[in-house]
Amino acid sequence: MSDKNIPFTNYLPDIVAPEEEEESYVDYFYDEPGSAPGTLNIEEDATPSTIVLIDYTESKATRKVLPTPDACHPYLESQSVSWVDVQGLGSEAVLQRLGDVFKLHPLLLEDIVNVPQRPKVEDYESQLVIIAWMVMLNEEKEDPDDEAFISEQVSFVLSQNYLLTVQEEPKHDSFDRVRDRIRFNKGTIRKYKADYLAYALIDAIIDGFFPVLEEYGEQIENLENEVVANPTPKTLGKIYKIRRDLLALRRAIWPQRTAINNLIRDGSDLITPEVRIYLRDCYDHAIQVLDMVETYRELAAGLMDVYLSSVSNRMNEVMKLLTVISTIFIPLTFVVGVYGMNFNPERSPWNMPELNWYWGYPMVWLVMIAIALSLIFLFWRRGWFENFSSVDED
Amino acid sequence: MSDKNIPFTNYLPDIVAPEEEEESYVDYFYDEPGSAPGTLNIEEDATPSTIVLIDYTESKATRKVLPTPDACHPYLESQSVSWVDVQGLGSEAVLQRLGDVFKLHPLLLEDIVNVPQRPKVEDYESQLVIIAWMVMLNEEKEDPDDEAFISEQVSFVLSQNYLLTVQEEPKHDSFDRVRDRIRFNKGTIRKYKADYLAYALIDAIIDGFFPVLEEYGEQIENLENEVVANPTPKTLGKIYKIRRDLLALRRAIWPQRTAINNLIRDGSDLITPEVRIYLRDCYDHAIQVLDMVETYRELAAGLMDVYLSSVSNRMNEVMKLLTVISTIFIPLTFVVGVYGMNFNPERSPWNMPELNWYWGYPMVWLVMIAIALSLIFLFWRRGWFENFSSVDED
Amino acid sequence: MSDKNIPFTNYLPDIVAPEEEEESYVDYFYDEPGSAPGTLNIEEDATPSTIVLIDYTESKATRKVLPTPDACHPYLESQSVSWVDVQGLGSEAVLQRLGDVFKLHPLLLEDIVNVPQRPKVEDYESQLVIIAWMVMLNEEKEDPDDEAFISEQVSFVLSQNYLLTVQEEPKHDSFDRVRDRIRFNKGTIRKYKADYLAYALIDAIIDGFFPVLEEYGEQIENLENEVVANPTPKTLGKIYKIRRDLLALRRAIWPQRTAINNLIRDGSDLITPEVRIYLRDCYDHAIQVLDMVETYRELAAGLMDVYLSSVSNRMNEVMKLLTVISTIFIPLTFVVGVYGMNFNPERSPWNMPELNWYWGYPMVWLVMIAIALSLIFLFWRRGWFENFSSVDED
Amino acid sequence: MSDKNIPFTNYLPDIVAPEEEEESYVDYFYDEPGSAPGTLNIEEDATPSTIVLIDYTESKATRKVLPTPDACHPYLESQSVSWVDVQGLGSEAVLQRLGDVFKLHPLLLEDIVNVPQRPKVEDYESQLVIIAWMVMLNEEKEDPDDEAFISEQVSFVLSQNYLLTVQEEPKHDSFDRVRDRIRFNKGTIRKYKADYLAYALIDAIIDGFFPVLEEYGEQIENLENEVVANPTPKTLGKIYKIRRDLLALRRAIWPQRTAINNLIRDGSDLITPEVRIYLRDCYDHAIQVLDMVETYRELAAGLMDVYLSSVSNRMNEVMKLLTVISTIFIPLTFVVGVYGMNFNPERSPWNMPELNWYWGYPMVWLVMIAIALSLIFLFWRRGWFENFSSVDED
Amino acid sequence: MSDKNIPFTNYLPDIVAPEEEEESYVDYFYDEPGSAPGTLNIEEDATPSTIVLIDYTESKATRKVLPTPDACHPYLESQSVSWVDVQGLGSEAVLQRLGDVFKLHPLLLEDIVNVPQRPKVEDYESQLVIIAWMVMLNEEKEDPDDEAFISEQVSFVLSQNYLLTVQEEPKHDSFDRVRDRIRFNKGTIRKYKADYLAYALIDAIIDGFFPVLEEYGEQIENLENEVVANPTPKTLGKIYKIRRDLLALRRAIWPQRTAINNLIRDGSDLITPEVRIYLRDCYDHAIQVLDMVETYRELAAGLMDVYLSSVSNRMNEVMKLLTVISTIFIPLTFVVGVYGMNFNPERSPWNMPELNWYWGYPMVWLVMIAIALSLIFLFWRRGWFENFSSVDED
């Protein structure tokens, strides 16, 4: 069998991932209080685990789908770089066996399986463990209320000659370009060891935050216009949702930044100085992501203030309209009410003599027009009418 | 007598705990200013103290209820691991005697008895002291105004061969699963010394925060809908209560995180390196709890902003309705008032000749309908009617 | 003369303290800019200084009121512990002489006399100086506008065999229980040196914050109900006052916490390791105080948000009432206005024929009742009437 | 010529300072981007520079106005302490020559002349440079809108035997008391070297913040009453102005605190340990200033909240009045409108028979009085009238 | 060819920069996730790259436009200082070749070309790399909605004898004065090596922030008046825009301050101690910029509060006017309504006898005038009319 003939993408035809509902709040996994450490928790609807092996040297790259973790053994012992990519957390037996084959500490296996855990780096003697969170735009989003992004835990176990990665979901990942770089020998990836591969994947994860942030940048820009021109209760919901999502993103990137920094500073011998320079670049990107998240958070908080002020402005406009109309017509209505009274003018010359004046009715109109005009002039001088139009223009 | 026959749960039939009112604010215990240090303060309604001993080696586990602290002596001297669990702080003599048997420093005994104290770790030469706060969902909650969680101090005194724990209340704890792991020899707990037992209990305490937080997560999610769709003054009270409770939770978890970190870093010889790895895992959980608390606090603060804006929006809607109705009818009422005046048309041709016109009355109606329609058209163009419906839909 | 016969309390019959107005803001004392350092500032209405000496060994305790600082000399040289307690800062000559007898640095004497200074610890070779702030509930409070607590500077000068304390006011202090512990040889206080005495007094000062905080805790709890059920402008003033007072308390406890920490860490030889353990306990209490102050500050800030929202809610209720009444009656008033017009029905059949219809008047009533009912139905469907009652219930 | 005959004050008869407008924002001086470092920028309206020398030993003090910087030479070389005080930054030639005589680094001369710079301490080998900001109450303030304080840069160059100070303005400074202490040999100032003089001046600068802060303390206290009792739009402007000024004060004191701390910790040999003790005292004062600034800032922020709430409360009161009046009179106006209709009672017995009833008119009055009273009773039960009076009382 | 004849400015006649839209948010450049590091991204509309060489010794300065990077070789090897200034990022071949000639690490070249990157300093053995952001006032701004400033990345590669700078855009930079200082041998720039040149350029970049900040200072000052005197919805938009821009400026200056600090502290041998003193000055300026940005941010946040309060005040004024008018006229309208009723006075002496009184009509007027005056008196006593005028004055 020639491995070259297998298509080298991530999507395997025989796996149909269940249509789970992804949550945007990454609220951590927890055991029942008091449980023994190392208990694996397999969710019922989790995708069965698939093991994909990519094995390469500078001259050659092979890709295989392995039936069981035990099939990894020959590759782990060879000098080539072996990337064992486990996709899906649904098969307890496979995951348990994986722990045995790769000699994983029970607590470590628990962290890998019981997702999500907080991103971190830990050094288990001959293995370096990295827990990371990958975020991706939700490409299946149909409804504006759907989550804008999907987040998934990826766990790395790095050793001298191999890299084990475990992903929650087989459907989505940001690694296809790295697979292509290995397959087509693009760049220098096949010249380096497993540590460079780990760097390349982490870098892909960090760079995967940028398109998500760009999406939020656009949403904020749209809201900036909406919030001044035409704020509705829906605007309020949108601002709240953006703030909540940015909070989730911040919670995802903050510990990863720390983890990468730990990799650079206190990392074990497994990472060569050359790769450390690349990780420094990746750390810069993580800081840039964090920087953008914080900026967007401040902008979103500012939008909330603007929204509140906008609503007050609109209410002011409504109140002014009511006041203008009422203030003009209430006195006039009083005036016409006066001459609707039925005092008997025949009884005394003091009883409503106006009713019998020759110019009575026209004079009342003159008086009323004078009242109305002077009130309008007063409002105009206070600049009330200007504001109406300025609101209209916006 | 065979210990195996005693049911191994925490609930002892002969103890009826008084129905105290638990408080959610953990406002610390304090002495009368100027009191001598080491004074024990026994509350009148505190539950009498019960001493439960669980003694185990890898091969065997015993459980006994001890009559007095002095009965611990043989166990403390044996090589087996002895877990002395004192439940209830109501018996001064027992607690004083406990101090003598376990050779506790008077300040330490004071911290154990005069609850609550702030969580901390202290190293008293041959003993390591840990003060922790356990939180549990209030399962007796009936009324939505009841506290959602109960918080209770647990003090640990760890030595080479024994672990002394002192709990405020016998009724509730998160330790039953640990007791089961000892009894049924699940996992590796019986292979380790007292330090692992201490870890297992602290881990159970930290994991006990998650169900409480999950409860608040759900409450926040419910409020997110309520606050936009139908905000009432009760919503306001709920948000305030959540914020207050999260503040209390933060105050409970923050010092525990620090304490566990101190255990890992500067811990005495009493904690073996192997258990230190487990504690590192427990520390990760404590950070996850803190992370969730902070996230929920930010979400709750955001909800308050949304609530305020929602109330303003509703008022806007009310004002608009008033303004629409007033602005349409006030001019019309003026018009009909005009033709209710009693000027004498016989005196002069200028006095209300309209009253005698052939088409007078229909023309007034036409004028009024024209005024009303043009006002309605103006409001419609400004989009006032759209907002009414959009609020209705939400 | 037997010292035992003198009553051992703090209140001396021959001193009448002037009824000064205490301020809650602790705004620091300052010299005229450019003054020479070491200038003593004696306020005109300050209480004359009294010197009270308590001298004790493990076996014996003596209490004396000393006429001048020079009378301290024999006690300072003896091996017994001498507590020289100077009460009142009104006698410049006494204070100057005190500086000479105790060999105080001029800057130190200035800090002691020119109150208030910021709490701190300073090490002047053979003397350890502690500036602390004591807070006490204002027991003379009559009016709710009076300050809830009194704050007073206490300066400590600790040496091997003596402790000098200087208090602003003789009337109040938190030290009577410590005096009793010395007098009646309660606890272990007479077994230790002056450093333990200093600890006991500092501990009394820190514990003195708790009753004050408890008072504020109760006030906040009362306000929590008031702010939702019946917010008035007075509520607003109360919340502001609590926030201002908590700010003052925070300013008092924060530097004391730092000072005690400095005492523990970098303290001089004057503090024995044994007392250092006690100080660690006292430091824990200071952190608890700070913790409570911060929690109360957050709760008070939350209350302000709730107050604002509550006022908005009430205004909403008022607006709704106005809108309901206006919206129902304004159209009806228009209708009756129509039939008050005086168009001449004799001139044309089109002029108000309704007036002459047989069922004219009953039909108008039917129309008006129909309008009113349909409007009421609309308001009811929007849930406006529910909110009225829900506000009433609160 | 005898120096003793020259009056020893700071105000020289031959200098008339231009009436510049002082700004409260201390927005830093900057060069045209790309300029060479060391460029001196002389403002056109700056006061010409005057050089005042005060030269003293313990036994003797001399004061001279020097014509040129070169005249300093003999004093700089003598063993006496020479304080060269340059007042006014208007004479480029003098300032350039000053740089040569005192061998100042070009960057340093730039910092001295191009004011304002941020306060700092720098160590140029044999010279210690301190940039400080002096604030003084604006005594020429006439209008409430004038700035409450004036801020001015003072630069210190300290060497073994001399102290060079450069001030922006000759008119104001806080140093007259120090000058008097030198002239009249008050305190110990003439016993010490130039480092003590530098301390005395810095201490005068720091103490100069207190009267300014006291002014703001009083303003805040006045506003606390105004904001609840009678908030007007002017109140709002005052609160904003106080916040802005406190921000400026914070910006002035914060770096000075750091600078003094640097002086104490890392200071060069030019400062003796004895003076370092005095500086520690001065550092305490700087912290007290910062403490007060922060407290006032929090109080001012709280005032803004109270202001907003107060305005809402007043609006509530206005709305209630409108609602009470409208709700009572609108139904009554409807009732009287009904009986103003002109239905023809002769046509049918159903057409307004009330008009012909014997008790018709009195009954209408009874009905209207009943409606009004029941509405008033309803409002009274809801407590609306209480609030009116409570607002009135405030 | 004589280099002296070429005009020494930055603007080259043969380059026409495309009219790109500059963005104020500096949202970082990012690669497609998973791309190989070192990929150069050339934007289509980027200006073609021009290479300008300025080569100088103390005695002589030459300026040349170089056709290819390879033409730099002779200058790089000479002892003179060579400033290679690459302007425009449009020519991939040139940039790639540049990397070869200057032996740049692929990651470094990527950072230089794929703009914007976060400002930083990195040490690549024999080269010191500085990424900086230059901000300039937007001189082409026509519309108030245009961005007030332009920001552009400048990358520095410093070696012993040369300085390579790469700018995004040839059109704008802040370096012309530095070019003049080299050309006309102003100041000491030609006496120093390339490190001083780098300092001079960085200093020009930092000083370039001041005019931009001054612009915002003026805008804030204008808004301070506008927000109290005449707040419109446009004011709100302006405040939001200032806050957003200050956020962008803060994001630009913060990392540069850190980068300069790193240069001073941990810088390589490439920077001489003498230049380090100059950099310290530059660092002070960076702190001043940051200080101003933070102050302006706080002022802008305060403006938002004032805006909200101002809007509330205006609404209050509107409500008061409505209430005054309504409260006066509604009762009067009721009164005149009463006497418009048609009760038949002939049927009974109780039916509206007032209509037939001799003084009936004048008495009604007296009653109405009395009602109006007493209401006006009440409003005047509550101070409502004062507020109207005080708002007018502002």
pLDDT, residue A390, reads 41
- At residue B84, does pLDDT exceed 70? yes
pLDDT, residue D44, reads 79
Work out the percent of chain B whose per-residue pLDDT is above 70: 90
Mean pLDDT of A294-298: 92
**Chain D residues with CB-CB distance to E387 below 8 A:** 232
Mean pLDDT of B225-244: 86
pLDDT, residue C308, reads 85
CB contact under 8 A, E118 and A284: yes
Q: Which of A327, A343, A382 sits opposite E322 (nearest CB)?
A: A327
The model's pLDDT over D328-355, given as tens digits with 9 standing for 90+, comes to 999 999 988 888 888 888 888 888 888 8
Mean pLDDT of D183-203: 91
For tokens 């009953």, the residue is C362
pLDDT, residue A195, reads 92
CB contact under 8 A, A122 and B204: no
CB contact under 8 A, D342 and C340: yes
What tokens does E190 get?
């030609």
Mean pLDDT of A382-394: 55
- At residue C197, does pLDDT exceed 90? yes
pLDDT, residue B137, reads 87
Chain C: closest CA distance from residue D66 (Å):
24
If one counts every other C-beta atom within 10 angstroms of the C-beta of residue D89, the result is: 25
CB contact under 8 A, C360 and D343: yes
Of the candidates C326, C350, A338, D344, the one whose C-alpha atom is nearest the C-alpha of residue B337 is A338
Q: Where are the alpha helices (DSSP H) in E209-272?
A: 209-229, 233-266
pLDDT, residue D393, reads 38
**Chain E residues with CB-CB distance to A387 below 8 A:** 232
- At residue A20, does pLDDT exceed 50? no
Q: Which of A292, A298, A344 sits opposite E356 (nearest CB)?
A: A344
The model's pLDDT over B94-119, given as tens digits with 9 standing for 90+, comes to 999 999 999 998 888 988 988 888 99
Q: Which residue, among B281, B328, B375, B379, would best test binding to A if mutated, counting the most A CBs under 10 Å from its CB?
A: B281
pLDDT, residue D3, reads 41
Work out the percent of chain D whose per-residue pLDDT is above 70: 90
CB contact under 8 A, D208 and C357: no
- At residue B393, does pLDDT exceed 50? no
Chain B: closest CA distance from residue C199 (Å):
10
Name the more confident of C6 and A166.
A166
What's the 3-state SS for E9-78? CCCCCCCCCCCCCCCCCCCCCCCCCCCCCCCCCCCCCCCCCEEEEEEECCCCEEEEEECCHHHHHHHHHC
Q: What is the CATH number of domain E12-308?
A: 3.30.460.20
- At residue C12, does pLDDT exceed 90? no
pLDDT, residue E316, reads 84
Q: Which sign does the torsion angle of CA A346, A349, A352, A355 carry? A: positive
What tokens does A14 get?
């025989």
If one counts every other C-beta atom within 10 angstroms of the C-beta of residue B156, the result is: 22
Mean pLDDT of D271-288: 91
Q: Which of A278, A287, A326 sits opposite E322 (nearest CB)?
A: A326
For tokens 């800062």, the residue is C89
- Kindly report, as residue ranges, where domains of CATH 3.30.460.20 are found in chain B: 3-308
pLDDT, residue C267, reads 62
Please, what is the Cα angle at B81 between B75 and B86, to 5 degrees? 70
- Largest Cα–Cα distance in chain D? 125
Yes or no: say if E69 and E101 are a contact pair by the CB < 8 Å rule: yes
**Chain A residues with CB-CB distance to E155 below 8 A:** none
Residues of chain E with pLDDT under 70: 1-26, 144-145, 267, 386-394
Q: Which of C213, C331, C350 sits opposite B329 (nearest CB)?
A: C331
**Chain D residues with CB-CB distance to E371 below 8 A:** none
Fold of B3-308: Beta Polymerase; domain 2 (3.30.460)
Q: Which of D27, D318, D357 sits opposite E323 (nearest CB)?
A: D318
Q: Which of E291, E333, E351 sits opposite D333 (nearest CB)?
A: E333
| Cα–Cα separations (whole angstroms), residue B256 to B165, B210, B250, B260, C283 | 16, 15, 10, 6, 17
CB contact under 8 A, B295 and A251: yes
pLDDT, residue E319, reads 86
Work out the percent of chain C whose per-residue pLDDT is above 70: 90
Chain E: closest CA distance from residue D244 (Å):
7
CB contact under 8 A, A313 and E34: no
**Chain A residues with CB-CB distance to B174 below 8 A:** 33-34
Q: Assign C140 to helix, strand or coil.
A: coil
pLDDT, residue C314, reads 83
- At residue B256, does pLDDT exceed 50? yes
Dist. CA E166–CA E153, nearest whole Å: 8
- At residue B392, does pLDDT exceed 90? no
CB contact under 8 A, A228 and E243: no
The model's pLDDT over D362-386, given as tens digits with 9 standing for 90+, comes to 888 999 999 999 999 988 887 777 6
pLDDT, residue D21, reads 42
| Band of pLDDT at residue C379, cut at 50, 70 and 90 | confident
- At residue A26, does pLDDT exceed 70? no
Q: Which of E117, E244, E315 sits opposite A315 (nearest CB)?
A: E315
Mean pLDDT of B127-146: 84
**Chain C residues with CB-CB distance to D326 below 8 A:** 322, 325-326
The model's pLDDT over D61-95, given as tens digits with 9 standing for 90+, comes to 999 999 999 999 988 888 899 999 999 888 888 99
- Largest Cα–Cα distance in chain E? 125
For tokens 């084959």, the residue is A101
**Chain E residues with CB-CB distance to A281 below 8 A:** 37, 107, 110-111
Dist. CA E341–CA A104, nearest whole Å: 97
| Band of pLDDT at residue D387, cut at 50, 70 and 90 | low
Chain A residue with CA closest to B314: the answer is A233
Mean pLDDT of C27-56: 83
The model's pLDDT over E40-94, given as tens digits with 9 standing for 90+, comes to 888 777 888 999 999 999 889 999 999 999 998 988 888 899 999 999 888 888 9
Average pLDDT, chain A: 84
- Kindly report, as residue ranges, where domains of CATH 3.30.460.20 are found in chain E: 12-308
pLDDT, residue E32, reads 79
Q: Which of E186, E210, E319 sits opposite D30 (nearest CB)?
A: E210
Mean pLDDT of A375-383: 85
For tokens 């306020």, the residue is C43
What tokens does A92 get?
């307890």
pLDDT, residue C340, reads 87
CB contact under 8 A, B247 and C299: yes
Chain B: closest CA distance from residue A354 (Å):
8
Residue B41, judged by CB atoms within 10 A of its CB (0-12, 13-18, 19+), counts as: middle
* D144 cis-preceded (ω within 30 degrees of 0): no
pLDDT, residue C40, reads 83
CB contact under 8 A, E356 and A347: yes
**In degrees rounded to 5, what are phi and psi of residue D86?**
-95, 125
Name the more confident of B169 and A131.
A131
Chain E: closest CA distance from residue A325 (Å):
10
Q: Which residue, among B110, B131, B240, B253, would best test binding to C if mutated, counting the most C CBs under 10 Å from its CB?
A: B240
Chain B: closest CA distance from residue C149 (Å):
15
| Band of pLDDT at residue C188, cut at 50, 70 and 90 | confident
Q: Which of A243, A322, A355 sits opposite B327 (nearest CB)?
A: A322
Q: H or E segment at B250? A: helix B233-266
For tokens 């005249």, the residue is D71
| Band of pLDDT at residue C391, cut at 50, 70 and 90 | very low
| Band of pLDDT at residue A267, cut at 50, 70 and 90 | low
The model's pLDDT over C248-291, given as tens digits with 9 standing for 90+, comes to 999 999 999 999 998 888 767 889 988 998 999 899 999 999 99
- At residue D221, does pLDDT exceed 80? yes
Of the candidates B26, B61, B65, B289, the one whose C-alpha atom is nearest the C-alpha of residue B168 is B26
| Band of pLDDT at residue B305, cut at 50, 70 and 90 | confident
Chain E: closest CA distance from residue A40 (Å):
31
Q: Which of E247, E308, E321 sits opposite A309 (nearest CB)?
A: E308
**Chain A residues with CB-CB distance to B338 below 8 A:** 336
CB contact under 8 A, D341 and C358: no
What tokens does D186 get?
């008050």
Chain B residue with CA closest to C346: the answer is B356
Name the more confident of D173 and B213.
B213
pLDDT, residue C165, reads 95
pLDDT, residue C36, reads 81
**Chain E residues with CB-CB distance to D35 below 8 A:** 177, 207
**Chain B residues with CB-CB distance to A318 below 8 A:** 316, 319-320, 323
The model's pLDDT over C198-234, given as tens digits with 9 standing for 90+, comes to 999 999 999 999 999 999 999 999 998 888 777 888 8
Chain C: closest CA distance from residue D44 (Å):
32
| Cα–Cα separations (whole angstroms), residue D176 to B28, C107, D11, D84 | 53, 22, 10, 15
Yes or no: say if A310 and A227 are a contact pair by the CB < 8 Å rule: yes
pLDDT, residue B387, reads 53
CB contact under 8 A, D118 and E284: yes
How many contacts (CB atoms, under 8 Å) link A and E?
Answer: 192
pLDDT, residue A359, reads 86
- Ranking B124-133, C1-10, C334-343, D60-69 by mean pLDDT, the lowest is C1-10
| Band of pLDDT at residue C387, cut at 50, 70 and 90 | low
The model's pLDDT over A322-347, given as tens digits with 9 standing for 90+, comes to 888 888 999 999 988 888 888 888 88
